[in-house]
Structures are given as C-alpha cells and as structure tokens.
C-alpha cells in the first residue's frame, strides 16, 4: 500500500464577478472549514483562500481587501477588466501554483464545501486530480437538465474527454497544475483540458445547493457560447463534418445529374421551378454553413497567433 502524501498546504481559489451579496457568507464558511481542517491536522496552518476578482463593477474588491486586512488567510487578486470565468480561474491557479494542493470553487456556495476534506483525503491517498461531481441535478430546471445531458453527449461524440456532471469544482496537485499551466492556448475550456493531463484522478460526489444570494452570471446565450467554445477548442470533428458534407453533396449531385440525363434521353423531362431552385437554395445554405464553421476556427487561430496575455493582474494583496 503506497504511503500517504504529507500534510499539504492547501490553496482554495475562488473566481468572483460582482459577488458582493454572497462574498461575506462565502468567506466566513470557507474560513470556518479551513480552521477545522487545520485543527484536525489534515492541512497545514499556512493554507489560504485566494479570491480572484474578474473586473467586478460592485464592491467585490473592497470586500476582499477588508477580508485580507482582517485575516492574512484571505488573499486577493484583481484583474484589470472582466476577462471571463475561465481566465479568472486560470489567473488564480497561476498565483496558487506553489501550494501543494489547489482547490477551485465558485463563490456562489452551490458546491458543497463538505466535499473539500474528502478531496484532500483522496489527494493524500495518491490522486493528483480529484473531480467534484454532482450526484444529481434536482436543483436544476427540466430544461437545464436536458440541455446539460445533450451537452455532455455532444462533447463525447466530438471526441472531447469530459467528466459528466463536473464543472470547475476540483482539486489538483502542484505537479498536475504545473502541467496544466504549460498549455498556452487563449481559447480556454479547462473542463476538457484537465482530463488530457493524464495524471491519476478520482471523483468525489456531492449534492449541489441553491445559490445563496445574487444571480447566476450564465444566461442561455453564455451557456451556448461556452458549450461551443468547449467543442471548437478541443475537437476538429466539426471540420471533418464539412468534408463529409462535401462528399455527400457531391454524390447527391452526381446521382441527380444521372437521373436528369436519363429522363432527358427518355423524353420524360418536365421543366419546373422546384427542380431548379431547391437544389440552389440547398447548396447555398450548406456552403454558408461550412464557410461560417471554417470562419469560427479561423477566428480562433487568429486569437491564438496574436499571443496576447490571457489575463492582466491590476492589483493583489500581499500574503
């Protein structure tokens, strides 16, 4: 039986965007949990909580600064503008990479904090990545449950490795996180990138709660955009779909041509508007679809080759 990992320094990374309504409660619960784990001897006393402010327009950063002034276990990072959830999370992970174990969790208190001691226990047993996985979706609407199921099925069909019912609630060891930070792409989909690392992983199941306060930042438009980014960033199968469409249309056109010639030589050709216009509309629509799909990938290449920073840190509290 392999020896347990030493007691780790734990960093809890919490991306925040306009979270002034929930942040006082979130910080109190996280600090209480951290204190209990330190007292139990499962993590080191220098463990900490890192809030990453993703360019909030409310008092989020002011609250983070007050928390740090009152207790050095709270640390803060403020980005120069709103870069998006995935980039804010990555910024926090960059800052916390020196810790032994790093847990990422959203600020809305929907993810069960009681899963954190279990994650640390799995880490000490030898797992480099511990995924927090929802054991059900009872708190979601029927529409959201169905769309989530479709989303994961589409990802799997597109060849994107993903963990069903897992979002961004996970633990990573220092070496797993260091390997993740070697990925330099600007189009981030961390849920699909982390399974690519190949380190030993396991899962911890938990029940997801209702949001404590505030409103979800993910509306339907953002969810669809996030889903498309996940597919297009990690899979080229949509491009292969374009090639497949080309072959199908070629053979259909060839068959239609043979049929038309046969009808002409047999004297059964009937001139008509539909037989002319419908194929034109059909081919035009497919061409526009394929050109648009190619454009999406070209746009991603455009973003990547520029090599712009994925986030810019404007300010941070000193530990």
Domain boundaries, the chain: 10-219+310-316, 237-306
pLDDT average, residue stretch 110-130: 94
pLDDT tens digits for range 40-67:
999 999 999 999 999 999 999 999 999 9
pLDDT average, residue stretch 254-277: 65
Res. 286 pLDDT band, cuts 50 70 90:
confident
pLDDT at position 235 over 70: no
Res. 273 pLDDT band, cuts 50 70 90:
very low
Pairing mode, strands 101-104 and 10-16: parallel
Q: 10-219+310-316 belongs to which CATH class?
A: alpha beta
Q: How many angstroms separate the Cα of 179 from the Cα of each of 37, 88, 127? A: 27, 18, 15
Count of CA atoms in the C-beta half-sphere (13 A) of 78: 18
pLDDT average, residue stretch 229-254: 70
- For residue 100, the model assigns a pLDDT of 96
pTM of the model: 0.76
- For residue 1, the model assigns a pLDDT of 46
Q: Report long-range pairs for 184-187 (Cβ below 8 Å, ≥24 apart).
A: 185/233, 185/304, 186/303, 186/304, 186/306, 186/308, 186/310, 187/229, 187/232, 187/233, 187/300, 187/303, 187/304
pLDDT at position 262 over 50: yes
In terms of pLDDT, which residue wins out, 133 or 229? 133
pLDDT at position 106 over 90: yes
DSSP-derived 3-state class of residue 86: helix
């Amino acid at each position: 039986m392999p020896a347990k990992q030493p007691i780790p320094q734990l960093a809890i990374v919490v991306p925040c965007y306009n979270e002034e309504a929930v942040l006082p409660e979130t910080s109190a619960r996280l600090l209480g949990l951290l204190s209990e784990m330190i007292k139990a001897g499962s993590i080191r006393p220098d463990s900490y909580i890192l809030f990453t402010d993703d360019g909030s327009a409310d008092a989020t950063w002011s609250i983070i600064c007050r928390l740090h002034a009152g207790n050095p276990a709270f640390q803060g990072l403020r980005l120069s503008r709103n870069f998006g959830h995935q980039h804010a999370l990555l910024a926090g992970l960059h800052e916390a990479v020196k810790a032994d174990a790093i847990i990422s969790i959203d600020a809305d208190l929907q993810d069960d904090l009681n899963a954190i001691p279990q994650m640390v226990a799995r880490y000490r047993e030898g797992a480099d990545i511990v995924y927090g996985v929802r054991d059900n979706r009872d708190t979601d609407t029927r529409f959201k449950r169905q769309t989530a199921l479709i989303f994961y099925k589409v990802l799997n069909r597109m060849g994107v490795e993903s963990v069903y019912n897992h979002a961004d609630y996970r633990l990573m060891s220092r070496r797993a996180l260091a390997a993740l930070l070697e990925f330099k792409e600007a189009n981030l989909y961390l849920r699909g990138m982390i399974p690519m690392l190949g380190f030993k992983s396991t899962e911890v199941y938990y029940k997801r709660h209702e949001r404590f306060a505030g409103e979800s930042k993910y509306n339907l438009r953002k969810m669809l955009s996030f889903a498309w980014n996940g597919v297009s960033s990690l899979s080229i199968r949509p491009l292969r779909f374009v090639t497949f469409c080309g072959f199908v249309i070629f053979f259909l056109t060839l068959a239609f041509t043979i049929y038309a010639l046969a009808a002409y030589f047999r004297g059964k050709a009937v001139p008509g508007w539909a037989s002319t216009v419908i194929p034109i509309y059909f081919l035009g629509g497919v061409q526009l679809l394929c050109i648009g799909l190619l454009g999406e990938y070209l746009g991603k290449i455009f973003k990547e080759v520029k090599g712009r920073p994925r986030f810019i840190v404007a300010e941070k509290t000193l530990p």
